[in-house]
Amino acid sequence: MPPTENLGQSRTLLLPRIAKGDEEAMRKCIDAYGPLVWSIVCRRIDQRTEAEETCQDIFTEIWKFADRFDSKVSKESTFIGMIARRRSIDWQRKQSRLLTLSTLDGLPEKVTSSSFSMGSIDRADLWEALRKLPEDTLELFSLHFEKGMSHDEISKHTDIPVGTVKTKLRRGLIEARKLVREFSDLKGADK
């Protein structure tokens, strides 16, 4: 991830400039976020040609949906990472002949959420909030998000049925959202 953005939104935002057709901002975006996008793509796609084509699709989508970025809702790197992640998952689903759900076409014009605001939360604080999750959920999160294991792989590794892994990851994400909301509210109240 771009080092200057690690805590808060300290870098000059590129997406609002891209939304206005600023070519220099587009170039800077490739330079700043290209490595992040490429690492997300390579976690899921091991064929180089396919990975490069997906990377191109992702930047196409970043240019297209730059105007939907809201710095109150997320950090720029998270928004770009999200597009990269969804596109890569989309590629995997296509390989498995499953329906794809990757583009933002189905989402509202301006993606905002009244109760969810990660844009102002530091990453360190976010992880502090998530530490309240149950141990087994954190373990599954670590296997899935950190080690990049699929549900099947986690099931074999932990000896938990694959259906249970799926349910626990989903419920863990719901619980995580609740914790982030509470943390966000608390932070708002402190101000």
Partner 1 sequence: MSSKSVSRYEELDAGRALGDLSPEEVTEWEALAQEGAMDQTIDFDLLATELELNHTEDCALSSSLVTRLEDTIPAFSATIKANQSATGQIISILPWLGWAAAACLVVFFNLPTDDVTQDVSAELAQAKAELSNKEKTITDLESAKQELAKLNKKLKGELASESGKIDDLNTQIAKLTEKLPLLQKFESLIQDESETQRLEFASASDPYNGLSGEVIWNDEKQEGYMSLENLAVNDPTKNQYQLWIVDPERDELPVDGGVFDITQNDGKQIIPIRNALAINKPVAFVITLEQPGGVVKSKQEIVVALAKS
CB of 21 to partner 1, least distance (A): 4
Residue 143: CA count within 13 A, CB half-sphere: 20
DSSP 8-40: TT-SPPSHHHHTTT-HHHHHHHHHHHHHHHHHH
Cβ distance 151 to 159 under 8 Å?
no
Nearest to 102 by CA among 92, 110, 112, 111: 92
Considering the complex, state which of residue 152 and residue 186 has its C-beta at the smaller distance from partner 1. Answer: 152
CB of 97 to partner 1, least distance (A): 5
CB of 190 to partner 1, least distance (A): 21
Considering the complex, state which of residue 10 and residue 39 has its C-beta at the smaller distance from partner 1. Answer: 39
The span from the CA of 104 to the CA of 107, in Å, is 5
CB of 176 to partner 1, least distance (A): 6
